[in-house]
Structure 1
Amino acid sequence: MAGRRDALLTRDKGQSVLGSRILVAVVIGILLGCIFAFLSPHGFFTSNRPFHNPRIGVADLQIGSSTCESPEQVNALKADILSVTQKNSELKKQIKSLMENLRLAEQGKHHAQEQFVTLGEKHKAGPFGTVKGLRTNPSVIPDESVNPRLAKILEDVAIYKELIVALANSNVKEMLEVWFTNIKKVGIPNFLVVALDDSTEEFCKSNDVPVYRRDPDEGIDTIARTGGNHAVSGLKFRILREFLQLGYSVLLSDVDIVYLQNPFDYLYRDSDVESMSDGHNNMTAYGFNDVFDEPAMGWARYAHTMRIWVYNSGFFYIRPTLPSIELLDRVARRLSREPKSWDQAVFNEELFFPSHPGYDGLHAAKRTMDMYLFMNSKVLFKTVRKDAKLKKLKPVIVHVNYHPDKFARMKAVVDFYLNGKQDALEPFPDGSER
């Protein structure tokens, strides 16, 4: 009996201990549950996505937002959004500018970019006879905001960012027709007429000629409607500026010019300005040492001078560089202040006069075109038509700039060079005498 009693007591004691352990475990579990519930009220396995009740609409959310936020906070948020939007717009402009700079920098073969890099470096001169300086200035960064409408036209018309441009009004309609007819016949696609009146614009459109009519400008339009050749010629320096700012090289052309070949095949493009000459032989066209004799000076009676006949402002190729734009600005400014001045004289003075006390000269590179390829009418009628060998040469263009009977001589040039009429030039005198 005693053994049985001891066994029962031992069992009861074991059960009591086990019960106590269970109770402690339950208590610990409850405490841990409370702690976890406090630290993570949404549980450990819930999604991060907010609860969505389809019965709650946008209006309810807006009402809730309005009740939580004051009008001052809403206005402050709107102001912040506006500020961020403006900064974003500015950043986009900066990115566009940086992308354009990057595009220009990547044009490694472009001569102007090579010069830009070279100017920033110091160089050691090489052996005698091997040193050669740079010839031209870097192109400007195109700015389409200057004239978006013209930029779109040039994008369609220009080839390799260059084109022929002529200004015309209804006073030169006959010559204009000869001008663009032969340009088409030669096969030159990149040309544009800047029409200075409605009649010229319609005339070009009816003949499938690329044309651009500027936005109204009273100062320019008055001259365009009523001005003579010299007055209209002076407008080109103001109008051409936009072409250069847009990044295009322009072969400026008067309409008294007959095109016989594509001039873009004969340009060097190594200067800011490349122009035909009014000279009539090698000396006058390309420059010469002219000795001035003053006997009263005795031993020093002979003074050496350098001379060159002027560039023709009715036919020149101009690149989009800062000196080129400065040249246009200088000429246009002087023509506006000196209404009786001749645009060609002013063009050459600004291009050639060196810096001296009281005057800063223009630092522009220039090249004279071959006078037999880019021929003026004095060379043609005084020399070429009388020389059997020179008559066989086919020029690129003939500019009837020395003679007033322009239309008749233009037709004769077409007959001689394109229609094979060998005597077409004979009826005309050398000069302008009747």
Structure 2
Amino acid sequence: MAGRRDALLNREKGQSLFGSRIVGAVAIGVLLGCVFAFLLPHGLFSSSDSQTIHNLRDRISNQMVSSECESLEQVNALKSDVQTAKEKNYELKKEVRSLMEKLRQAEQGKGHAQEQVVALGDKHKVGPFGTVKGLRANPTVIPDESINPRLAKILEEVAIYKEVIVVLANSNVKEMLEVWFTNIKRVGIPNHLVVALDNTIEEFCKSNDVPVYRRDPDEGVDTIAKTGGNHAVSGLKFRVLREFLQLGYSVLLSDVDIVYLQNPFDHLYRDSDVESMSDGHNNYTAYGFNDVFDEPKMGWARYAHTMRIWVYNSGFFYIRPTLPSIELLDRVASRLSSDPKSWDQAVFNEELFFPSHPGYDGLHAAKRTMDMYLFMNSKVLFKTVRKDDKLKKLKPVIVHLNYHPDKFARMKAVVDFYVNGKQDALDRFPDGSE
């Protein structure tokens, strides 16, 4: 009990002492307030000090506004610098692409040159089994600009890496020509040229900013150019193409009934004199097959093996400026002029494929067949591709409406299907012609 009482007395003393301290602190505060009021009647800060503070506030505010303006100018300057950097980067990318393409061509040319040295140079011993390769591509001719300086100047401006897409057109195919160059522009293929066969097409191309070349008048040929139908104009192209090859340019010859969906120059091999799309509609017909001919009356020898391939399409092929290529054009043009009823595609394939035999010297030209699903004819599209869910997802490089007479309508449908995404655009057409 005594211990508890002592504890209570100590706590009361502590509380009393704490209260005394508070009272003392309050008294000191009041006393100090009185002293400051007597010595500084106008307050701690004078009016001049207040003005100084106000001026300081204004100065800070002005600096902040000035800083904001400077920041805005800096941001705009930075944006301008970024845009300039982007433009320089784009130009650098173009230069890099150009250099890469030149390097690719140089390497390709080096490979061809090595093959030529091996095939045409000094005699060599045969290498190990499986290492021997013959000459794949013939050397290109020396360009001769004197044969057509006007065309040479146009090609110098239009062609890229000495390559150009060429189409012949007169007023009979004006609607299809518009679809042709509209899709070429959409894909972004700058190296294309229309050989205008009449004044109307020349003016039409100029008004649509399409590179155009108007041939000089040529008796006989000029009449075909202005009034001829598809086959007549198709035969004329072999004569016209000769000048392009003489000038040293590789030509991707195109009919007008073709829809471009990708850049074809990205999908060429360039290892042959002629690289052509096929009229075939499957692997066998497009790339060749062993066709067995059965003649029962021959008994034991009733089966005869034959090699077959469907013809190349003379409306879309890539041709390099080589001597065999120019010889091919000369042969076809000569035969068509002597027999106007001949079909240019049949003559084109006969000269390409018929071998030398008694009384006839065949053409020694290297050939390559294009991928039939990338370079697609309209039979492949309407008979096979549009009915196959997997094949429908593939995007061809071009579609050639060569198998059907209603070309313009089908060209527009191809654009709707592959470009505009209309999945039923091809459904209303029959497999063949009506």
Measured against the shorter chain, the TM-score band is 0.7 to 0.9
8 A contact 1:263–1:397 mirrored in 2: yes
Amino acid at match of 2:157: D
Aligned partner of 1:49 in structure 2 is: none
Deviation at 1:296, TM superposition (A): 0.8
- Listed one character per residue, the Cα deviations across residues 121-163 of structure 1 (whole Å, up to 9, x for unaligned) are 2222111112122211000000000100000000000000001
Give yes or no for contact 2:112–2:136 (8 Å, CA) kept in 1. no
Contact map agreement 1:115 1:138 (CA 8 A) in 2: no
TM-score normalised by the chain length of structure 2: 0.74
Task: Indicate the RMSD between aligned Cα atoms, in angstroms.
Answer: 1.0
C-alpha distance after superposition, 1:337-381 (max 9, x if no partner): 111100000000000000000000000000000000000000000
Say which SS state the counterpart of residue 425 (structure 1) adopts: coil
* Within-5 A mapping of 1:254-265: 254-265=255-266
Q: What CA distance in whole angstroms lies between the structure 2 residues aligned with 1:404 and 1:289? A: 32
1:219 is the counterpart of 2:233:
no
Tell me, in whole angstroms, the C-alpha distance in 2 between the residues paired with 1:114 and 1:252: 29
Structure 1 range deviating more: 214-223 or 230-239: 214-223
- Report matched runs for 1:54-203 at 5 Å: 110=109, 111-118=111-118, 119-203=120-204
Contact 1:115 1:137 in 2 (8 A): no
SS across alignment from 2:234? helix
Q: 1:226 to 1:109 in 2, by over 3 A?
A: closer
Distance in 1 between residues matched to 2:114 and 2:196, nearest whole Å: 37
> Contact 2:374–2:397 (CA<8 Å) still a contact in 1?
yes
Distance 1:409 1:123 in 2: 55
Cα distance, 1:109 vs. partner? 5.7
What residue number does 1:403 align with? 404
How far the C-alpha of 1:112 sits from its partner, in A, is 4.1
Q: Secondary structure at the match of 1:426?
A: coil
* TM-score calculated relative to the size of structure 1: 0.74
Amino acid at match of 1:133: G
Distance 2:193 2:356 in 1: 36
3-state SS of 1:141 partner: coil
Mapped to 2, the partners of 1:344 and 1:354 lie a distance apart of 17
Identity, % of aligned positions? 88
Structure 2 unaligned blocks of 5 or more: 1-105
Residue by residue over 1:280-321, the C-alpha shift from the partner in whole angstroms, topping out at 9 and shown as x without a partner, is 000000000000000111110000000000000000000000
In structure 1, the gaps of 5 or more residues are: 1-106
**Contact 1:310–1:348 (Cα < 8 Å) also in 2:** yes
- Report matched runs for 1:227-376 at 5 Å: 227-376=228-377
Q: Secondary structure at the match of 1:218?
A: coil
The aligned residue for residue 422 of structure 1 is 423
Quick one: structure 1 residues 226 and 274, their matched pair in 2 at CA, closer, same or farther if it must change by over 3 Å? same
Amino acid at match of 2:412: K
Q: Look up the equivalent residue of 1:417 and give its one-letter code.
A: Y
Instruction: Say if 1:274 and 1:318, in contact at 8 Å, map to a contact too.
Output: yes
> For residues 208 and 141 of structure 1, do their structure 2 counterparts lie closer, same or farther at Cα, with a shift above 3 Å needed?
same
Matched residue SS, 1:289: strand
Instruction: Supply the distance in 1 between the matched residues of 2:137 and 2:415 (Cα, whole angstroms).
Output: 36
Q: 1:204, 1:114 → 2: CA distance?
A: 43
Assess if the C-alpha contact under 8 Å between 1:112 and 1:139 holds in 2.
Answer: no
The 3 A distance-change label for structure 1 pair 388 and 108 is closer
What letter matches 2:333 in structure 1? A
Could you tell me how far apart the structure 1 residues matched to 2:227 and 2:236 are? 13
Alpha-carbon distance in 2 for matches of 1:247, 1:123: 31
Letter in 2 for 1:223: I
Once the 2 structures are TM-superposed, how far is the Cα of residue 116 of structure 1 from its aligned partner? 3.8
Q: Using the alignment, how far apart are the partners of 2:108 and 2:181 within structure 1?
A: 34
Cα distance in 2 for residues equivalent to 1:289 and 1:155: 45
Structure 1 outlier segments of 4+, above 6 Å: none
Q: Distance in 2 between matches of 1:121 and 1:432?
A: 57
How has the CA–CA distance of structure 1 residues 140 and 264 changed in structure 2, closer, same or farther, with 3 Å as cutoff? same
